């Protein structure tokens, strides 16, 4: 069996960290749990990343990058209403089928709020920078219209909440996302 390169090991740490942070949040996740999931020692983990914060921010960055890529692929060659529906459908499918992605997003927002309460602005700046790249990714296909982009992102947050609370796809709370669906 071939040994993993440092970059491959780093990738496995990011994947493991995403799973652990998604479930336990920043404060509820230990670096020991991440190291155990990857199958490395904590000292090795800290050779790859300078600390827990760096590991969390790498996982957060990956979450944002994956979402940006998903939106860009869904909207490729589309504009306006077509892009909106394609990106929205891709997002609902992704967060429904990959709960860790949704949970990591939610944990990112909570971690920023907690860090800001503790006076740590660096944490929030990193996450906000990623979120703005996400905003820009959807802004152009929606015609660079701030109102359309705001409405899209607001619906995304509602989707996050509905999926996180476990509302099934056929529940009436989803009717507003599909105007042709019957309200019950």
pLDDT digits (tens, 9 = 90+) for 117-161: 999 888 899 999 999 999 998 888 877 889 988 998 999 999 999
Contact residues for 22 (Cβ-Cβ < 8 A; gap 6+): 99, 100, 101, 103, 104, 107
The residue-averaged pLDDT of 95-122 equals: 92
Mean pLDDT across the chain, nearest whole number? 89
The residue among 35, 33, 18 whose CA lies nearest residue 100 is 18
pLDDT at 1: 56
pLDDT of residue 27 exceeding 50, the answer is yes
Q: What pLDDT shows up at residue 60?
A: 95
In tens, the pLDDT along 80-96 reads 889 888 998 999 899 98
Q: How many residues does the chain have?
A: 184
Instruction: Give 102's pLDDT tier (boundaries 50, 70, 90).
Output: very high
- The pLDDT value recorded for residue 55 is 97
Per residue in 55-74, pLDDT (tens digit) is: 999 999 999 999 999 999 99
Name the pTM for this structure: 0.88
SS3 of residue 110 by DSSP? helix
Residue 179, pLDDT score? 53
Q: How far apart are CA 128 and CA 72, in angstroms?
A: 19
Which 8-state DSSP code applies to residue 173?
Answer: G
The whole-number pLDDT of residue 181 equals 45
Q: At 179, give phi and psi (nearest 5°).
A: -55, -25
pLDDT band at 182 (very low <50, low <70, confident <90, very high): very low
Confidence of residue 184 (pLDDT cuts 50, 70, 90): very low
The answer to whether residues 177 and 163 touch, using CB atoms and an 8 Å cutoff, is no
Do the Cβ atoms of 112 and 128 come closer than 8 Å? yes
């Amino acid at each position: 069996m071939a040994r993993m390169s440092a970059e491959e090991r780093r990738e496995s740490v990011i994947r493991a960290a995403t799973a652990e942070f998604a479930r336990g949040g920043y404060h509820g996740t230990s670096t020991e749990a991440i190291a155990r999931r990857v199958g490395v020692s904590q000292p090795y983990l800290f050779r790859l990343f300078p600390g827990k914060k760096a590991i969390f921010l790498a996982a957060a960055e990956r979450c944002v990058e994956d979402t940006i890529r998903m939106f860009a692929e869904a909207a490729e060659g589309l504009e306006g209403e077509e892009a909106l529906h394609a990106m929205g459908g891709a997002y609902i499918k992704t967060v429904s089928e990959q709960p860790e992605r949704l949970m990591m997003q939610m944990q990112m927002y909570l971690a920023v709020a907690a860090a800001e309460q503790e006076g740590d602005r660096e944490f929030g700046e990193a996450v906000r920078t990623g979120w703005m790249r996400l905003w820009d990714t959807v802004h152009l296909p929606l015609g660079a219209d701030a109102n359309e982009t705001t409405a899209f992102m607001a619906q995304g947050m509602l989707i996050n909440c509905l999926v996180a609370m476990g509302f099934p796809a056929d529940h009436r709370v989803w009717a507003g996302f599909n105007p042709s669906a019957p309200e019950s």
